[in-house]
Amino acid sequence: MLTNRIAENSLITQECRKTLNSLHQEIKKITDQLKNGNLNPGVGNKPLGSGIVESRTRGGGRVYWRFREGQIEILGISGKFNQRKVINEVLNHFGGK
């Protein structure tokens, strides 16, 4: 099961919209793989702390997620251009939850 938690934070939601304008297909590749149970989607995973993982595509898309209570939670998405901003906000908002 896949749960989208992006809408819980306005900054993450705003950055998500910017990212989807240019990287929709790249992000969809990762989320489709996660939906199918692949916990190593894209071209690699990078642990960020607090159980949060960054998955990347060759085209620059990033998906931030975690596996919790039997389901995958999508916490944020970004491109290279807003990666640091989104990572910081994801860790601040979801890191202790």
d(CA 52, CA 62): 13
d(CA 1, CA 67): 10
d(CA 6, CA 15): 10
What are 37-61's pLDDT values in tens digits? 999 999 989 999 999 999 999 999 9
**What average pLDDT does this structure show over 26-35?**
96
What is the predicted pLDDT for the residue at 97?
63
pTM above 0.85, yes or no: yes
Burial 76-91 (b: 16+ CB within 10 A, else e): bbbbeebbeebbebbb
Q: Where are the domains of the chain?
A: 2-94
Average pLDDT, the chain: 95
CATH topology of domain 2-94: YaeB-like fold (3.30.2310)
